[in-house]
Amino acid sequence: MNQNDRPRFFEGQYLGAADLAACVDYTRVRTARHDLGAHLWGIASGLELVEQPLASGAVQVSIAPGQAWDGYGRPLVVMAPEPLPADLFRNYVTDTAPEGDIVKIWLAYAEDGSRDPLPGFEVCQGDQQARVAEVFTVEAGELPTVHNVVIAARTLDAKAARKAFNAAAPDLYDESVPHQELPDGGALPRWPILLGYVRWFKQGAAPGFLKPRVATGPVPDTDRIRAMRRYIGVVAEEMLGADGRLRLRDRNKAPSSNYQAPGLAGGTDLLWIEGHARVEGDARLLGGQLEWRQSGGSFADVPMFARRVESNPQGGKSLEVAFAPTLPAPSGQHRLAFGIVPKAGDAWGALEARMVVQDDGNVGIGTVTPRARLEVKGRADTWGTAVFVPDPAKGTLTSHIHWDTTGDWYLRSAAPAGKVILQDTGGNVGVGTNAPNRAVTVQGAAGTYLNVKGDGGSEELLIGADGSGGIVSTMTNHNLQLRAGGNSTKMLIQADGNVGIGTTTPHARLEVLGRPEQPGTAFFVPDPAKGANISHVHWDPTGDWYIRSASGSGRVILQDTGGNVGIGTSNPAQKLHVAGQFLRVDGVSAAQAEVGSEGHNSIVFGTRNAGISLADFRNLTVPFDAGNAAAWLTLWCRSVTEVSDARAKTNVEPLSGALAKVVRLRGVSYEWQGDVEPARHVGLIAQEVQQVVPEAVSIGERGAGISYSSLIPVLIEALKELKGEVDTLRPLADQVAQLEAEVALLRAAPAARPEEASPAPPAAAAPAPAPAAKAARKSTGKP
């Protein structure tokens, strides 16, 4: 018969055994489906494994009366205590641990037919018992925990009963399947129910026996058994409280008396839980509050609860915790306490408070009687009164504050290089004063000091003020350093008094080590009344030393009150004494004028600029003007030697026409314009000389000048030409002189008649002109 067919009868119908059996089966199936649909299979009541001690130290274990039903909806009922027979453990023959081995005990459904037909009513068919006894079997050991059910003619694991027909469905972990084909006759499928376990002990050839459960250790045996036993449950989405109330309580304990307490029975609480509650996962309160009341169910005039508030004075939301009323006025009597509790067995003792918040607003840490808004009582160890652990992103070091045994107050960073920071967002810190007017103000009686010690106190820095003024000092025989820029020393005062700027090893009273950049070693800023220019001194990358005025027209003045300046010498003999080869002046056009000596028994006035070929001797107080000769100086010296080495000359040619040029020159007498002491001078006019001997004249921005030494060769050659002419004329002069002598003789003799006169001797022929004279005359170009 289909298990969903309901038997139906009509008047006059012949009823047989099958019809009556169908009624029984229909009722059994419907009961089983209800039990598995609205409930979960398992133990309903009882069926505990009860130990009975024996004189030998062993125990006799019995199954207590009770009921369960398995995953096929079949009842397992134990009507009386059922001892575990020794034969149940016949297969356990190996030696066990001293406390015995754990052996699981199971209860399984079974059937037993009874009440055979009376004699004479037998038939040839079997299975004629008029009753079926629903009994059980007791089994020991490890049994399969996978249970099969039949659905739509398919045998399935009960856990997969839903997933087999809907892949998206979850597993059925409770394995209660009401829509299965329930077993009916034939071989009965097994669905054992675990009741717990016992401890079986066996050593050698001696018979084994059951030992008492182990009640000690991390997990007592009773806890293990309770974790293994499965009890029935209820399957439902809604539970409706009769008269507005649901109660959850332990079946093994008497009901709470609060349920009948006046004033509570008529309350609005829908769910009553009499006992402990456990939530695995989130617990949510929707718009309500979590209250802590006394055992009688009331606040006793002291409300204690936590609640969510949707709007606070800041426009946000709050979680509020209340633990005392506002009236009567708070006195510190009520408090919110945080602490630790001791444990004795399964019980927890009284709270040992570590932090309290009193109703008067005082907070105590390490004390239960705070006398201020925050009172912290430290521990005896070195961690101190309070420990501050940073965010992991900022490291793992822990700082703390504490008192010492003398009452001194410590603020300490756990890292040796750690910092203690106060008022980092603004405001001032006062030491010895309640009115600090700086970031840190230290105030005391006359002679107030702040000292810093290092290396266990062997180095000490003192900062203070007394009647003599401000003081910065090293109290020990150590250097005083001023640091900046990455904590590097920028200035140092040694214990011996030497001062170093940019160096930590000064070798003099002041030693300054410059920086590589342009601004130099030291800046000098004037008083604002004197301008904004900043002068400085510095080294360049090659080690050269600069003293520089920031103004292009600025001056660098040394020893303006007297004394000498030495460069390259420690014993200057003059206002400026340069102990070197040359003194150089670049000038405005990089003329690079130098005064010095090259070691040739001479001094040198020269230049390093190959494009410079002139040297001026000027009165620089007079403007540079070609028409003002006062701008030029008179050179006074013993002699002037000009370079004229043949090895230094090329393209040498003789001069010609020198006498003619000299004749064209005009000597003049004159006075200089602008001369401080007017006087007559003789000389030439450069523009006139340029027309005759241009090589001797220089004309430029300075005006026109004459190189008088350049006229000497012309004069020499002119004298040589003149001497040639003289040499040519000298024989003629002799003849003229002879003729003049003869003429004089004739004039002195008496006049004779012509006829008386002696005939004159024949005149000698006049000598022909000398060839050299002719050559000389030709060279002069004269007629």
- Return d(Cα 294, Cα 300) in angstroms, integer: 7
Compare 514 and 181 and report the one with higher pLDDT. Answer: 181
Q: Hey, which of 47-51, 125-129, 422-426, 469-473 has the most confident mean pLDDT?
A: 47-51
Looking at residue 715, what is its pLDDT? Answer: 93
Looking at residue 376, what is its pLDDT? Answer: 84
- Does residue 502 surpass a pLDDT of 90? no
- Return d(Cα 65, Cα 442) in angstroms, integer: 86
| DSSP one-letter string for 67-105 | EEE-TTS-EEEE-S-EEPPGGGGTT--S---TT-EEEEE
- Does residue 259 surpass a pLDDT of 80? no
Close Cβ partners of 92 (under 8 Å, ≥ 6 residues apart):
101, 103, 200, 202, 208
Q: Which neighbouring-strand residues pair with 624?
A: none
Close Cβ partners of 649 (under 8 Å, ≥ 6 residues apart):
none
- Return d(Cα 483, Cα 492) in angstroms, integer: 9
Task: Count Cβ atoms below 10 Å from residue 359 Cβ, excluding itself.
Answer: 19
Q: What percent of the chain has pLDDT over 90?
A: 33
Task: Count Cβ atoms below 10 Å from residue 322 Cβ, excluding itself.
Answer: 17
3-class secondary-structure state, position 112: strand
Question: pTM of this prediction?
Answer: 0.51
- Does residue 391 surpass a pLDDT of 80? no
Looking at residue 345, what is its pLDDT? Answer: 80
Nearest to 583 by CA among 564, 599, 603, 613: 603
- Return d(Cα 381, Cα 379) in angstroms, integer: 6
- Does residue 729 surpass a pLDDT of 80? yes
- Say if residues 601 and 590 touch (Cβ distance below 8 Å): no
The amino acid present at 366, given as its one-letter code, is G
Q: With bands split at pLDDT 50, 70 and 90, how would you rate the model's confidence at 779?
A: very low
| DSSP one-letter string for 418-485 | ------TTS--EEES-S---SSEEE--SSSEEEEEEEGGGTEEEEEEEETTEEEEEESSS--EEEEET
- Does residue 769 surpass a pLDDT of 60? no
Looking at residue 200, what is its pLDDT? Answer: 95
Q: What is the pLDDT of residues 604-637, one digit of tens each?
A: 888 888 878 777 777 777 777 767 777 777 888 8
- Does residue 739 surpass a pLDDT of 80? yes
3-class secondary-structure state, position 132: strand
- Return d(Cα 335, Cα 362) in angstroms, integer: 9
Task: Count Cβ atoms below 10 Å from residue 705 Cβ, excluding itself.
Answer: 15
- Does residue 773 surpass a pLDDT of 60? no
Looking at residue 7, what is its pLDDT? Answer: 86
Compare 531 and 314 and report the one with higher pLDDT. Answer: 314
Looking at residue 448, what is its pLDDT? Answer: 84
Close Cβ partners of 423 (under 8 Å, ≥ 6 residues apart):
429, 439
- Does residue 764 surpass a pLDDT of 50? no
- Say if residues 106 and 92 touch (Cβ distance below 8 Å): no
305-309 and 318-322: which strand pairing?
A: antiparallel
Phi, psi torsion values for 41, nearest 5 degrees: -65, 155
- The answer to which of 504-513, 523-532, 717-726, 758-767 has the lowest mean pLDDT is 758-767
Q: What is the pLDDT of residues 299-339, one digit of tens each?
A: 889 999 999 999 999 999 999 999 999 999 999 999 999 99
3-class secondary-structure state, position 735: helix
Looking at residue 127, what is its pLDDT? Answer: 61
Token output for 218: 């991390």
If you average pLDDT over every residue of the chain, what do you get?
Answer: 83
Side-chain-side CA neighbours of 701 within 13 Å: the count stands at 4
List the helix and strand counts (H, then E) for the chain: 6, 49
Close Cβ partners of 615 (under 8 Å, ≥ 6 residues apart):
593, 605
**Arithmetic mean of pLDDT, 198-202:** 94
Q: With bands split at pLDDT 50, 70 and 90, how would you rate the model's confidence at 445?
A: confident
Nearest to 517 by CA among 546, 557, 483: 546
- Say if residues 336 and 356 touch (Cβ distance below 8 Å): yes
- Return d(Cα 146, Cα 175) in angstroms, integer: 10
- Does residue 530 surpass a pLDDT of 70? no
The amino acid present at 661, given as its one-letter code, is K
**Arithmetic mean of pLDDT, 60-86:** 95
- Say if residues 501 and 482 touch (Cβ distance below 8 Å): no
- The answer to which of 260-264, 428-432, 507-511, 777-781 has the lowest mean pLDDT is 777-781
- Does residue 64 surpass a pLDDT of 50? yes
- Return d(Cα 220, Cα 223) in angstroms, integer: 5
Q: What is the pLDDT of residues 101-128, one digit of tens each?
A: 999 999 999 988 766 665 655 555 556 6
